[in-house]
Structure 1
Amino acid sequence: MVAPGAAAGTPLGTPWPRTATRGADGVVSVGGVSLHDLATTQGTPLYVVDETDMRGRAAALRTAMTAAFAEQGVEAELFYAGKAFLCRGVARWMTEEGLGIDTASLGELTTALSAGVDPARIGLHGNNKSDAEIELALSEGIGRIVLDSLVEVGRVADAAAALGTRARAMLRVTTGVHAGGHEYISTGHEDQKFGLSVHPARAGEDSPALAALLAILDRPELELLGIHSHIGSQILDPAGFAAAASEVMRLRAELAERSGALVGEVDLGGGFGVAYLPGEVELEPERIAKETASAVAEAAATTGTALPQVSFEPGRSIAGPAGITLYTVGTVKPVRLPEGSDVAERLYVSIDGGMGDNIRPALYGAAYHAELVGRTSAAPLVRARVVGKHCESGDIVVHDVDLPADVHAGDLLAVAVTGAYGRSMASTYNLLPRPGVVAVRAGKVTPLVRRETVADLLALDLG
C-alpha cells in the first residue's frame, strides 16, 4: 500500500505527522502509505499512527533530557505516560526507545506487563487505587508506586506487609504552580483531587506533603524513592517546571533536615505542549531539558543539597502529533448565521465519527485542524465546522476550519494531532463501535488495535 509517488510528495508540515506528504493528485500519505488506500482497506473512522514520528519524538526527548542533566552530573529518566495512548505495540516501541511506562489503572498496568515491559520500568499512579491494582503492582515488583494521599500510605504499606515485600514509593505533591491549557488539565494547583500540598494549612504546622513523607519513612514496608510533581498538561512555557522544581527541592531539603533522609529522585511529571494548529509552535525538547536542568541545579544550590536523579512522564508530546484520525464525509449542509456573526454562512461538514472518538473539543473546547486528504480542489475556501453523527448539538470535532467549497459526501477528511487521548478517551456513545488503530511505517501497515463491531457491543449485552 505504498502511495504512488509518495516519496516525491510535498511535506505537510505542522501540525501533521513528520512523514506526511501530499502528492500531485492531492492524496496524502503518512509513513509512505496512502490514506486513500487505508480508507479503502481499513475503513473509517480510523486512527493512524506514524510509528517513525512517535519513536522519533520519544528518542528526541530522552536524548535531550539525558544530555542536559548529564551536564549537571546526574541522570534523567523518562516514563511514557500511557494515558495518552497505550497498547502493547506502543509499550514495546517506548521501551525500545529507552523509556519506561507510566500507568494509572489496572488495565494500563496489565497492558504494560503483558507487552513484556520490565516491571522495574513501570510506575503506577492514581488518586484512588484499587486493592487489585496495588496487589498486582506489588506482586509483579513494579519499579514505583506513586502514593497520592496519607490514607494510601497505610494501604500500600499494609498490602506490602501482607505479601511479604517492600514497595518502592514516591509521593505526589501539589506545588501551587498553575500551568496548562485548561482548568481541567491543570493539576498543580491545590483545589483538586491529586496529591498533597507542600504548603502548611496553618503557620507552625507541617505541610500535608511533609507529614506524608515522614509517615512513609516510618513504615519499613515502604522504600521512599522520591517526590513527584505534575503541574498540568499542554504547557508551552518551561517556567512552570522551573517553579515546581524549586518547590519540590525545598520540600526535599525540609524532609532531609527533619529526618536525615535526602531522597534520591525528583519526578517533574509531563505535560509538554504540542502544536495543534498551523502556525503554532510546540515546546522543543532541548529547551525543556536545558531550562529544567538549570532550575533543578539552581534549587539544589539554594537549598544546599546534592542534585537528585530527575524523571519525567511525557505522553501527549510523544503520541499526539504522531497520530491522525481519518474520516469519510457524509452530509454537507450550509447554515446561514445571524447578522453580526463573523461569517454570513458556515458549512456544516458531517463525518462518520465524532465525539465518540474525540471527546476533547466537547469536554474542554480543544481546538483541532482538518483537511481533505483524498483529492485536489480548485474551489475557494469557505468557513466550515466539522461535526459528528452523535445525538448532541455539541458533537463538534473542529469548530472552525477553512475547507474547499466543493467538499462533498465520500470525501476523505483527516484531523491532525489525535494520537494522544483520541482512542484513550473514546466511547461507544449511541452504540457506535470505537475505531481501530493502525501504525504506518516505511510503506507498511501494522494493525495495533482491532476495530470494534456491533457484535462486540452485543456480546457485552446480557439480554
Structure 2
Amino acid sequence: MYLHGTSAINGQGHLTIGGCDVTELAKQYGTPLYIVDEALVRQRAREYVEAFKASGLKFQVAYASKAFSVMAMCAIAEQEGLSLDVVSDGELYTALKAGFPAQRIHFHGNNKTPDEILMALDAQIGCFVVDNFDELALLNALAGDKGLKVNVLLRITPGVEAHTHEYISTGQQDSKFGFDVENGAAFRAVREANELPNMELLGVHSHIGSQIFEVDGFEVAASKVAQFSLRVRDELNITFPVINLGGGFGIRYVEGDTPLPVATYVKAITDAIKDNFGAASYPIPEIWVEPGRSIVGDAGTTLYTIGTSKDIPGVRKYISVDGGMTDNPRPALYESKYEAVVANRAAAAAEETVTVAGKCCESGDKLIVDCVLAKPQTGDLLAVLCTGAYNYSMASNYNRIRRPSVVFVKDGLSDLVVKRESLDDVVGNDILPARMKKASAVQ
C-alpha cells in the first residue's frame, strides 16, 4: 500500500492521517467521511510557490477551486499565498465568505450569467477569463454600466491536448471552451477586446488537459502561445503582460501512475516561456497557472463502513459500503481507478480480491473493481485513498443520500469544516403545496 503525506499505520494496526487514528475519526464524525491531510495540502501549495520563485519570473499560482471548494480550503489557499480560480457564483460566494481577497480571484467559465458577472463586478475581483464573443460584449456592457474597467484574459485553444502520458498537437477545434487559434477567432477576439472601452486586456489563457504526467505538452503549448503572442505584437502592436498556462498536473492514484515533481513541471514551463519569448525580444510575461487536483487530490481520503457482501462463485465477490457514487461519481463517470485499505486492519496482508460497491440503486455504482484487501468483514472501515479532488465537489443527493461531512486533520487534531447533511437538509428546499396536503389527507 502506498501511503501519501502524513498517513501512517500505528501500533494498533490502524491507519492514521495527520496524527489522527481514523477509527477514532469514524466514531466521532461517522461515515462516510472525507478526511483531508492539511499538512500535505499546504506542502503541495508551497511546492508551486517555491518552484516559481526559483524561476525568477513574476507569477501567480491560482488554486482551481472546482477541485474542492469549501471555506476552509479557501482560507488555506489565502494563507499560502495562492490566488483562486472560480467558475460559478457558488464558488465565488464561498471564497468571499471565507474572506479571500477579491483581487486575487479569477473568474472562469464558458457561460457566465449576467447575475454572476454582476456579483463578480461588485466584489471587484482581479480578473475575468473570457471564453467567447457573447461574454466579451456582455462583460464590457455590464462593466460600463458600473463605470468599471476590468482585467481580462482571453481563453484560447492553441491546438494542444494532453492527458496522462500522451499529448497531441492538432486543431482541437471541437471544444466548448475558448477562442480557436487556427480558425482566426482568437486573433479577432484580441483585436475586439483591445478596442472595448471597459476592458484591460492582460493576455491569454490556455489549458491543455488533465492528469498530465509529462512536460512535453506544456512545452508545446508554451511555444504555440508564444507564436500567437508574437503575431499579435507584430500585427496589432499589443504586448501581453500575462500568460496563463492553466493546470492539469497529475497525481498518483494507483500503482503505475508516474506524476513528476511539481518543480519539474514548473521548470519546464518557465524555461519554455523564457526561451520562446526571450528569443523574440518579447518582454517575459508574468506566468499564471491553475493547479487544483495536484494540490488537494492525494491529500484526501474517504472513509466508509463495510456492510453487506455477495460472493458469486467463479465470478466475483462484492462488498458494499455506506457511500458510493453520491460521494465519488468519478469511477462511474470516467472509470477512474483508486486504491483502498481496510483502515482498522491496515497492517494486515492484502489477500482477497473484491469489488467495492456503493449503496446507490445503480449497477454502475462500483468504487473499485478487483481491489485486493485484507479479508474485509462487516463493520470494518474501508479507506479509499486520493479522493481530495472532484469527490466532495461533485457529490450529489442521488437516492436522497446525505452528503458526508469533511474534516481537516493536522498534528493530531481534527476540525470539522463541513457538517454532515441531515435528513432535514435533504428535504429543506422541498415545498409541498397546500392542495397536495389536502388531497393526501382525503386519501
* TM-score relative to the length of structure 1: 0.90
- Counterpart of 1:442 (choices 397, 407, 411) is 411
Counterpart residue identity of residue 198, structure 1 = V
Deviation at 1:281, TM superposition (A): 2.7
2:440 aligns to what? none
Counterpart residue identity of residue 448, structure 1 = V
- Counterpart of 2:320 (choices 346, 350, 358) is 350
What is the rounded CA distance, in whole Å, between the counterparts of 2:221 and 2:98 in structure 1?
Answer: 33
2:385 aligns to what? 416
1:127 aligns to what? 110
Deviation at 1:442, TM superposition (A): 0.5
What is the rounded CA distance, in whole Å, between the counterparts of 1:249 and 1:213 in structure 2?
Answer: 14
- Counterpart of 1:310 (choices 287, 293, 305) is 287
Counterpart residue identity of residue 312, structure 1 = V
Counterpart residue identity of residue 281, structure 1 = T
User: Sequence identity, in percent?
Assistant: 41
CA distance 1:188–1:38, change in 2 (3 Å): farther
Cα RMSD after superposing both structures: 1.8
What is the rounded CA distance, in whole Å, between the counterparts of 1:32 and 1:187 in structure 2?
Answer: 48
| Secondary structure of the structure 1 residue equivalent to 2:220 | helix
Counterpart residue identity of residue 323, structure 2 = G
> Which runs of structure 2 are paired with 1:167-178 in the superposition (5 Å)?
167-178=150-161
Measured against aligned partners, the alpha-carbon deviations of 1:104-128 in whole angstroms (never above 9, x if no partner) come to 0000011111111111100000000
Alignment pair present for 1:286 and 2:263 = yes
The answer (yes or no) to whether the contact 2:15–2:346 under 8 Å persists in 1 is no
What is the rounded CA distance, in whole Å, between the counterparts of 1:95 and 1:348 in structure 2?
Answer: 43
What is the rounded CA distance, in whole Å, between the counterparts of 2:53 and 2:282 in structure 1?
Answer: 21
CA distance 1:376–1:243, change in 2 (3 Å): closer
Which stretch has the larger CA shift, 16-25 or 425-434?
16-25
2:299 aligns to what? 322
The answer (yes or no) to whether the contact 1:187–1:231 under 8 Å persists in 2 is no
1:236 aligns to what? 213
The answer (yes or no) to whether the contact 2:72–2:98 under 8 Å persists in 1 is yes
| Secondary structure of the structure 2 residue equivalent to 1:374 | helix
- Counterpart of 1:429 (choices 398, 403, 424) is 398
- Counterpart of 1:389 (choices 359, 362, 365) is 359
1:151 aligns to what? 134
What is the rounded CA distance, in whole Å, between the counterparts of 1:188 and 1:318 in structure 2?
Answer: 30
Unmatched segments (≥5 aa) in structure 2 = 433-443
| Secondary structure of the structure 1 residue equivalent to 2:324 | coil
CA distance 1:279–1:161, change in 2 (3 Å): same
Deviation at 1:430, TM superposition (A): 0.4
Counterpart residue identity of residue 239, structure 1 = D
Alignment pair present for 1:54 and 2:54 = no
- Counterpart of 2:101 (choices 118, 127, 152) is 118
What is the rounded CA distance, in whole Å, between the counterparts of 1:87 and 1:253 in structure 2?
Answer: 40
1:341 aligns to what? none
What is the rounded CA distance, in whole Å, between the counterparts of 1:90 and 1:377 in structure 2?
Answer: 31
> Which runs of structure 2 are paired with 1:186-335 in the superposition (5 Å)?
189-200=172-183, 207-278=184-255, 280-335=257-312
The answer (yes or no) to whether the contact 1:249–1:303 under 8 Å persists in 2 is no
Alignment pair present for 1:458 and 2:441 = no
The answer (yes or no) to whether the contact 1:387–1:395 under 8 Å persists in 2 is yes
What is the rounded CA distance, in whole Å, between the counterparts of 1:378 and 1:159 in structure 2?
Answer: 61
Alignment pair present for 1:89 and 2:72 = yes
The answer (yes or no) to whether the contact 1:325–1:414 under 8 Å persists in 2 is yes
Measured against aligned partners, the alpha-carbon deviations of 1:114-163 in whole angstroms (never above 9, x if no partner) come to 11111110000000001111111112111100000011111100000011
1:9 aligns to what? none
What is the rounded CA distance, in whole Å, between the counterparts of 1:137 and 1:352 in structure 2?
Answer: 39
Deviation at 1:181, TM superposition (A): 4.6
The answer (yes or no) to whether the contact 1:334–1:348 under 8 Å persists in 2 is yes
What is the rounded CA distance, in whole Å, between the counterparts of 1:188 and 1:273 in structure 2?
Answer: 24
Deviation at 1:24, TM superposition (A): 3.0
Counterpart residue identity of residue 76, structure 1 = F
What is the rounded CA distance, in whole Å, between the counterparts of 2:161 and 2:253 in structure 1?
Answer: 21
What is the rounded CA distance, in whole Å, between the counterparts of 1:177 and 1:197 in structure 2?
Answer: 11
Deviation at 1:188, TM superposition (A): 9.2
CA distance 1:55–1:380, change in 2 (3 Å): closer
1:64 aligns to what? 51
Deviation at 1:395, TM superposition (A): 0.2
| Secondary structure of the structure 2 residue equivalent to 1:39 | helix
| Secondary structure of the structure 1 residue equivalent to 2:153 | strand
| Secondary structure of the structure 2 residue equivalent to 1:241 | helix
What is the rounded CA distance, in whole Å, between the counterparts of 1:441 and 1:349 in structure 2?
Answer: 31
Count of residue pairs the alignment pairs up: 430
CA distance 1:114–1:153, change in 2 (3 Å): same
Measured against aligned partners, the alpha-carbon deviations of 1:49-92 in whole angstroms (never above 9, x if no partner) come to 00001011111111112212x0xxx2121000000001111101
Alignment pair present for 1:373 and 2:337 = no
The answer (yes or no) to whether the contact 2:408–2:415 under 8 Å persists in 1 is yes
Counterpart residue identity of residue 259, structure 2 = E
What is the rounded CA distance, in whole Å, between the counterparts of 1:78 and 1:62 in structure 2?
Answer: 7
Which stretch has the larger CA shift, 95-104 or 277-286?
277-286
What is the rounded CA distance, in whole Å, between the counterparts of 2:127 and 2:336 in structure 1?
Answer: 32
The answer (yes or no) to whether the contact 1:188–1:229 under 8 Å persists in 2 is no
